[in-house]
Chain A
Amino acid sequence: MSLWRQIIRGVRALTNRASSDRNVTDEVDDYVENARDAHMARGLSSTEALRAARIEIGGVTAVQEQVRQYGWENSIETILADVRYAVRRFRSNPGFTIVTVLTLAIGIGASTAIFSAVNPILFQSLPYPNANRITTISDVGSDGAPLDLTYGTYLELAQRSHSFDAMAAVNIWRPTIVGNADPERLAGERVGSNYFRVLGISPMLGRNFTSSDDVAGGPRVIILSNALWHRRFSADRRIIGRTVKLDDDSYVVIGVMPPTYENVLSPLVQIWAPLQYSAVFGPDSREWGHHLSMIARMRSGVSLSQARSELNSIARTPRTDFPRVPWASLGSGLQLRSLQDDATGGARPVLLAILGAVILVLLIACANVTNLLLASGARRQGEFAMRAALGARRGRLSQQLLTESLLLAIVGGALGMVVAEIGVRALIALSPATLPRIGAIRLDAVVFMFGLAVTTLIGLAVGVVPALRASRAEMNLGVQQASRRTTGANQFTREALVVGEVALALVLLVGAGLLLRSITDLLSVNVGFDPSHVVTMQVNESGRRFQVDSASEDSARYNFFAEALQAVQRVPGVTSAAFTSQLPLSGDFAGYGVHFEDDASTYATGSALEYSVTPSYFATMRIRLRHGRLLDAQDRDGAPRAALISESFAKNRFPHRDPIGQRFDFGPPDGQRYTIVGVVGDVKQSSLADAETNAIYVTPTQWHWVENPMSLVVRSNGNAAALVPTIRSAIRSVDRNQPIMRVVTMDDLVDKSVADRHFALILFEAFGLVALVLAAVGIYGVLSSGVTEKVREIGIRVALGASPSSILGLVLGQGMRLTVIGIVVGLGTAAVATKAITSMLFGVSRLDVVTYLAVVVALSAVAVIACSVPAWRAARLDPNTALRAE
Chain B
Amino acid sequence: MQDPNTDVIQGTLDMLILKTLSLQPLHGYGIARRIEQISRGTFKVNPGSLLTALQRLERSGSLDAEWKQTENSRRAKFYSLTRAGRKQLGVETEDWTRRATAVARLLKADG
Contacts and interface: CB of A to CB of B under 8 A. Distances in A.
B47 A31 contact: yes
Contacts of A31: 27-29, 32, 47, 51
Given A6-B59, A70-B52, A70-B56, A30 B47 contact: no
Given A26-B77, A35-B29, A70 B48 contact: no
Contact of B59 (A5, A28, A33, A56): A5
A62 B48 CA distance: 8
A52 to B, nearest CB: 14
Interface residues of A, number: 26
B43 to A, nearest CB: 14
Given A30-B74, A71-B59, 9 more contacts: A5-B60, A23-B77, A27-B28, A27-B77, A31-B27, A58-B47, A62-B48, A66-B48, A66-B51
B75 interface: yes
Nearest to B51: A67
A2 B59 contact: yes
B47 A57 contact: yes
Nearest to A9: B59
A63 B51 contact: yes
Interface in A10-43: 23-24, 26-31, 33-35, 38
24 contacts: A1-B61, A6-B60, A23-B77, A26-B75, A27-B28, A28-B47, A28-B51, A29-B74, A30-B27, A30-B74, A30-B75, A31-B29, A31-B47, A31-B51, A34-B27, A38-B29, A56-B47, A58-B48, A63-B48, A66-B51, A67-B48, A67-B51, A67-B55, A70-B52
A373 to B, nearest CB: 38
- B28, B30, B84: residue with the most chain A Cβ atoms closer than 10 Å: B28
Given A5-B61, A6-B59, A71-B59, A30 B29 contact: yes
B33 interface: yes
A555 B70 CA distance: 116
- A9, A24, A30, A71: residue with the most chain B Cβ atoms closer than 10 Å: A30
Contacts of B33: 38
Interface string A257-270: 00000000000000
Contacts of B30: 34
B79 to A, nearest CB: 10
Interface in B65-108: 67, 70, 74-77, 84
A2 B29 CA distance: 26
Interface string A287-321: 00000000000000000000000000000000000
Nearest to B75: A26
B58 to A, nearest CB: 8
Contacts of B56: 70
Interface residues of B, number: 24
A66 B74 CA distance: 22
B61 A27 contact: no
Contact of A71 (B32, B55, B77): B55
A30 B77 contact: yes
Contacts of A35: 29
Contacts of B49: 66
A757 B27 CA distance: 81
B86 to A, nearest CB: 15
A65 to B, nearest CB: 9
B76 A30 contact: yes
A35 B47 CA distance: 11
B77 A33 contact: no
Contacts of A5: 59-61
Nearest to A24: B51
A6 B62 CA distance: 12
B71 to A, nearest CB: 11
A1 to B, nearest CB: 6
Nearest to A53: B29
Given A2-B59, A30-B28, A71-B55, A63 B47 contact: yes
9 tightest A-B CB contacts, nearest first: A34-B29, A66-B48, A63-B48, A67-B51, A2-B61, A30-B76, A26-B75, A57-B47, A31-B29
B51 A27 contact: yes
A756 B52 CA distance: 69
A184 B105 CA distance: 96
Contacts of A29: 74
Interface string A600-617: 000000000000000000
Contacts of B29: 30-31, 34-35, 38
Contacts of B61: 1-2, 5
B82 to A, nearest CB: 11
A724 to B, nearest CB: 78
Interface string B6-28: 00000000000000000000011
Contacts of B77: 23, 26-27, 30
A580 to B, nearest CB: 86
Contacts of B27: 30-31, 34
A34 B78 CA distance: 13
A71 B54 CA distance: 12
A38 B29 CA distance: 10
B87 to A, nearest CB: 12
Nearest to B33: A38
A606 B77 CA distance: 104
